[in-house]
Amino acid sequence: MNRIFFRFFVLVMLSITVATFVVYFAISRLFGDPLDDIARRQAEAQIFLIEQYVDKAPTDEWLVRLNKVREVSDIHIDLIPLANAYAGLPASQHDRLKRGEVVLDVANKAFFRRVDLYGNYYVGSADEVILARDLPIDIGLALKMEAVRYVIVALALLIPIALWSRSHWTGLQRLASVADQVGAGQLAARANMPKSASIYPLAERMNHMAGRIESLLEAQRNLLHSVSHELRTPIARLEFALELLRAAAADPALEQRIAAMEGDLAELNGLVNELLSMTRMESGQALRTAPLDLAQALQQCAAALPPGPCAVALDVPAAIGTVEADQRLLARAIGNLLRNAQKYGNKEIRLSARRAAALEIMVDDDGPGIPEAERARVFEPFYRLDRSRDRATGGFGLGLSIASKAIALHQGSIRIEASPLGGARFVITLP
């Protein structure tokens, strides 16, 4: 947000600077150089003496008055040939001098003007030029005055823009904070702004969007929770009925069929439990955090893993220290990752941990791995890779999703990498 307004003010300053040069060159093109006008005003008294005192003299007294001006004035006045004047002026000024106008040489603090056009004052006066030097021209002061004017104009523009932008900036900061809270799962967050605020319509639409999302997710959670609870009753009845049927059955084939039905019921019961666990995590339950000995906690997670063909190798430094976490949820997340590795691993599973900029817990397996294009989707509920869609390894597609949500509640994250063992590596990062 700060970068946006910094760029905005940089853009405004650049626009004012560019506008200053555009105005200067446009005025120069249309009305002449403003510096030439400033210099002409500063030399106005000397030009006035020549035009109103010397030129108004009778023809035979013109040189007398010019000499009097030389005596009383601080400027140096000389008569030079017209050819020398042309040589000292740029070609663009020659026509003005030829017409008898006063031509300023601002850089040398001088001006040129022909004595006359027709040789009326003395013989050869039409071919001579008045050169007045050491004029009281101070362009530096003039430039400072112009700079002050432009600074005043810039401030007059920037101060209202800054006041106008500040209200937008504070409002957008509130919206950004609300967006962060909604993104973090706090769906009840709202942007409370007065109706007079300039971005009030945007805040209203954002609040409406957040309210709509909250209501939809709440409805989804309620439906999932209700359905899961309602399923438990018929599942319990079926389990009770199967127990009675098993007690009365004498046919081995029937007993085998009953055992298969009990397996299906156990799978359905496990699905209901997983759904309930996921809805509890999505409801934003409060964490019961406490300092945990990480090495001991990881050993317990490895020991709790059901027997299987893959051995779990622990690589956890004894001095890795403690972590502030909810023991039940952290163990659930790590346990789900270990069971996932047990399903797809061939011979080896490795559970390791290290501390760098943050705490990292890694679960490696030597299975087929996870394609890079699928690594983000495996954390979605009920999503399973094609090769896992069987009863032996398929599961419900909820284990990784529950692990991801449990770690997210700890302000952490899970990512998938290629494992040195040849399969997949799940990396839990905790702050």
- Note the pLDDT tens digit of each residue in 93-138: 899 999 999 999 888 889 999 999 988 888 889 999 999 998 888 8
Spatial separation of the C-alpha atoms in residues 407 and 318, rounded to whole Å: 23
Nearest to 158 by CA among 1, 17, 3: 17
Burial of 337 (0-12, 13-18, 19+ CB in 10 A): buried
Mean pLDDT of 292-310: 86
Per-residue pLDDT tens over the stretch 44-90:
888 888 888 888 888 888 988 999 888 888 889 999 999 999 998 99
Residue 429 or residue 186, greater confidence: 429
SS3 at position 146: helix
Res. 22: pLDDT tops 90: no
Higher pLDDT, 142 or 85: 85
Backbone φ and ψ for 422, nearest 5 degrees, come out as 110, -15
Per-residue pLDDT at 392 exceeds 60: no
C-alpha 401: how far from its chain's center?
A: 30
What are the CB-based long-range contacts (under 8 Å, 24+) for 188-193? 188/214
Q: Are strands 311-315 and 322-325 parallel, antiparallel or unpaired?
A: unpaired
pLDDT in tens, 147-172: 787 788 778 877 887 777 777 778 88
Q: Is the pLDDT of residue 410 over 60?
A: yes
Q: How confident is the model at residue 365 (pLDDT cuts 50, 70, 90)?
A: very high
Count of residues in the chain: 431
Q: How many other C-beta atoms lie within 10 A of the C-beta of residue 126?
A: 16
Q: Which is more confident, 214 or 317?
A: 317
Residue 415 reports pLDDT greater than 50: yes
Q: With pLDDT > 90 as the criterion, what percentage of the chain qualifies?
A: 13
Sign of the Cα pseudo-torsion (165, 171, 177, 178, in order): negative
Token representation of residue 391: 């009863």
In terms of DSSP H, where are the helices of 135-199?
A: 139-183
Among 361, 337, 359, residue whose Cα is nearest residue 423 = 337
Tens digits of residue pLDDT in 236-265: 777 777 777 777 666 677 777 777 777 767
Determine contact, residues 289/326, Cβ cutoff 8 Å. yes
pLDDT classification of 389: cutoffs 50, 70, 90 = very low
Segment 217-227 shows an average pLDDT of 69
CB 265 within 8 A of CB 234: no
User: Residue 351 has what pLDDT?
Assistant: 92
Which residues face 133 on adjacent strands?
76
- Domains of the chain plus CATH, in order, are 2-141 (no CATH), 200-282 (1.10.287.130), 290-430 (3.30.565.10)
pLDDT (0 to 100) of residue 122: 87
- CA–CA separation, 187 and 72 (whole Å): 88
pLDDT averaged over the chain?
81
pLDDT of 5 = 66
If we measure between CA atoms, which residue out of 102, 129, 96 comes closest to residue 41?
Answer: 102
Beta carbons of 331 and 428 less than 8 angstroms apart: no
